[in-house]
Amino acid sequence: ATVRYRVTDADNIMLKIYDITGKLVAVPVNNEYKQKGTYEMKINLSQYPAGNYYAVMSNTHNKVQTVKMNVVK
């Protein structure tokens, strides 16, 4: 799956992936400093069952973006 997220101000970023039950399944970006801009990241979810997942991006100012992903097998 490819996740696209936007950083509105340069900041430390967290990107976490949750399953439909709210269980954390991956942390592809862990407190990394990112400049303002739009980013794309490929995330391998092949080891997880088919279904809906949520990519949640947050920064140190608690700005949050959530993207719904559907994994099909």
Q: Minimal CA–CA distance to 57: which of 29, 21, 38, 24?
A: 29
Alpha-carbon distance of 22 to 47, in angstroms, equals 17
pLDDT tens by residue, 58-72: 998 888 899 999 888
Q: What is the pTM of this model?
A: 0.86
Cα distance between residue 13 and residue 62, in whole Å: 10
Task: Give the model confidence (pLDDT) of 11-24 as tens digits.
Answer: 999 999 999 999 99
Taking phi first (over 0 means left), then psi (-120 to 50 degrees means alpha), and beta for anything else, what does residue 5 get? beta
